[in-house]
Amino acid sequence: DQQVKQNSPSLSVQEGRISILNCDYTNSMFDYFLWYKKYPAEGPTFLISISSIKDKNEDGRFTVFLNKSAKHLSLHIVPSQPGDSAVYFCAASETRANSKLTFGKGITLSVRP
Amino acid sequence: DAGITQSPRHKVTETGTPVTLRCHQTENHRYMYWYRQDPGHGLRLIHYSYGVKDTDKGEVSDGYSVSRSKTEDFLLTLESATSSQTSVYFCAISLGTSGRGAGELFFGEGSRLTVL
């Protein structure tokens, strides 16, 4: 049973517009959530995270929103740039002290110039 | 740069042969992980280690074993490779359980394994 779900396999947006990547989870014990970005032939790189005590975390063009009651989080990228084209993985763990991350399947984002 | 090196980066082998992938880190981090990435499955945890000779199973551990005899090296072994183990394997380290970077994983560049 998949505990972290990224139901949309791909997303295409125009440069300069907002990209919204969604993620749902089923395990109510998850307490810490992260987004990773992956380019082809490279390892995933950490993008942004959020603890369950918050509902929003912002870092430059990237904002993550968490809705605990709905078990839903989203990553907003504003404005989107062609260099943002990559696979984005949502991940979760039961505690920040435990780096055993459970990942979603990933979303391929394409930003059109 | 978290100082993670994976070897080999690419390997083609035949069904039934043993394969060992190596993850080497230069910064003495205690926590190390092996994940595999497959289309339609994302990243799945195979095994992890919380220290020398302290390892445990992850979500997809069947057919894999690991060893950690030194802090800097975490080895993943496929005792008898099968075609279903064709995948990209990523090693990761954690900076720790508290402070800046806690809870985050830093990944190596991956080892692409093809089992014919």
Q: Domains in chain B: how many in total?
A: 1
- B-chain CB neighbours of A89 within 8 Å are 42-43
Q: What is the mean pLDDT of chain B?
A: 92
Min Cα separation A105/chain B (Å): 4
Alpha carbon distances (Å) from A77 to A15, A17, A94, B30, B74: 11, 8, 26, 33, 36
Q: Where are the domains of chain A?
A: 4-112
Contact B103, A33 (CB under 8 A): no
CB contact under 8 A, A99 and B107: no
**A44 close contact with B: CB closer than 8 A:** yes
Residue B84 DSSP SS3: helix
Q: What is the mean pLDDT of residues B6-34?
A: 95
Q: Chains A and B: how many Cβ contacts under 8 Å?
A: 66
Closest CB to B94 among A42, A49, A99: A99
Min Cα separation B9/chain A (Å): 10
- Could you give the percent of chain B with pLDDT greater than 70? 93
| pLDDT tens digit sequence for B57-107 | 999 999 999 999 999 999 999 999 999 999 999 999 987 766 666 778 999
Q: What is the CATH number of the domain that holds B100?
A: 2.60.40.10
Q: How far is CA A61 from the centre of its chain?
A: 13
| pLDDT tens digit sequence for A13-40 | 999 999 999 999 999 999 999 999 999 9
What's the CATH code, domain A4-112?
Answer: 2.60.40.10
Alpha carbon distances (Å) from A81 to A47, B17, B43: 15, 45, 25
